[in-house]
Amino acid sequence: MAFNHGFSATSLREYDIRGIVGQTLHAADAFAIGRTFGSIVARNDGKTVAVGYDGRLSSPELEQALVEGLKASGMEVLRVGLGPTPMLYYAATTLETDGCIMVTGSHNPPNYNGFKMMLGRKPFFGQQIQELGRLSAAGDVVAEGTGSDRAVDVSHDYIARLISDWDGGDRILKVVWDNGNSSAGDILTRLVRSLPGEHTVLNGDIDGTFPAHHPDPTVAKNLEQLIAAVAEKQADIGIAFDGDADRIGVVDNKGQILWGDQLLVVLSRDVLRTHPGATIIADVKASQVLFDEVQRAGGVPLMWKTGHSLIKAKMAETGSPLAGEMSGHVFFADRWYGFDDALYAGVRVLGILARMDGPLSDVKDALPHAVSTPELRFDCDDTRKFGVIDEVAARLKQTGAQVSAIDGVRVRTADGWWLLRASNTQAVLVARAEAFSDEGLERLKAELVHQLEASGLEAPDFSGENAGH
């Protein structure tokens, strides 16, 4: 049977395939992804692909079409079922499959969905996703085969493996978890039954309409329910997930948010006790405080490009035991498998807290105080965004500024630093600035505005965009 299928131009992203269900993403796309990805696996002499799906209303239909496409390419499909993305990664790793695909819209609104992929043990992203689109449009797939599918329940083994790395002391913790109606609901409920301490789970039911709040723990508004529950229960910590539980959010006993880079400080200090001198990786949006604290703890801080696939690849290259992003992705290769897993990160941070004498707020309060903007995103055409970065970089080079060009431009000054980068997934530019005084932050924002205007862009209004960090 002849096959060729073109995808919506907006759905083939840098790190995954994602779109609006019924508009830019359909069951036919899911079949085509399975048909083409299965062909890629087959041409790499592979045979097995693990598949999972999240709690979105559209996910079962997309998963079924995906499986049919994989079977048409001759694949043996191991259907892990409904659960968090990291459980699928665990299945693919421990069952040694030749690839895996997760049907998930991650932290996007309910009407979105998408596909995250691994080829062998490595993330499938960037040019590989573009090549999948090209092969699908050209009908360049293996001859139609007769594959098979079977259900595989790894949930018991996955939970047992999570618990096996619990390393807390005798302290009994009060913990509030906000599942956010994510696909981790069932796994989280079973996990906390086996963990020491007193546990409260909010929004534990898996519900793809996300009735409580948007499933993105990097946005302070989405943590308000968790912060209130921590206060009510007088809990030691609150932990939140995104829609497929590969990203974590944390609040301390005072209800203060520990942003991704601050959480990484806590985790880094612990990992460096057993891995002295190790490389700890964080993305370019992370605070300078993190890089300084890693160095102070005896580690080697490494700033790298934003993007979970890019971070994973750099970890493998450098042998880093720990990495993280401002977005809440945390990657452990120390005693774990190197993929991002919010449930595992939660277990590890609870172990650290259970061995501490004081509250988690003591750690946050002792960090050097910085003032920063949140992540500022503003529209810039896909055909223009990278050119703007090149122009800014060229002007900065002429001035002799201290610039890191790992991912966009990150400029250090006496006041602190500012960042401008092009998003890999959207037609936007991303900016951020951090200083050690309000006055310094205003000067950094003024520099940023000056550079944008010099490239003919109308700079967004950054006034009021300050947040203690």
Dist CA 120 CA 131 (whole Å): 17
> Which residues, including other chains, have CB under 8 Å from residue 83's CB and lie 6 or more apart?
52, 155, 183, 184, 186, 187
Cα four-point dihedral sign 185, 125, 219, 283? positive
Structure tokens at 432: 């951020």
Cα four-point dihedral sign 313, 318, 323, 326? negative
Distances (CA, A) of 393 to 384, 442, 462: 14, 21, 21
The single residue of 39, 106, 155, 372 carrying the catalytic annotation is 106
Closest CA to 56 of 190, 243, 197: 243
The verdict on whether 155 is a catalytic residue reads no
**66 residue type, one letter:** L
**145 residue type, one letter:** G
Beta strands in 256-407 (DSSP E): 257-258, 279-283, 300-304, 322-324, 330-332, 371-372, 376-379, 402-404
**308 residue type, one letter:** H
Structure tokens at 115: 């596909």
* Residue 374, CA atoms < 13 Å, CB-side half-sphere: 13
Dist CA 398 CA 462 (whole Å): 26
CB 18 within 8 A of CB 105: yes
Tell me the catalytic residues.
106
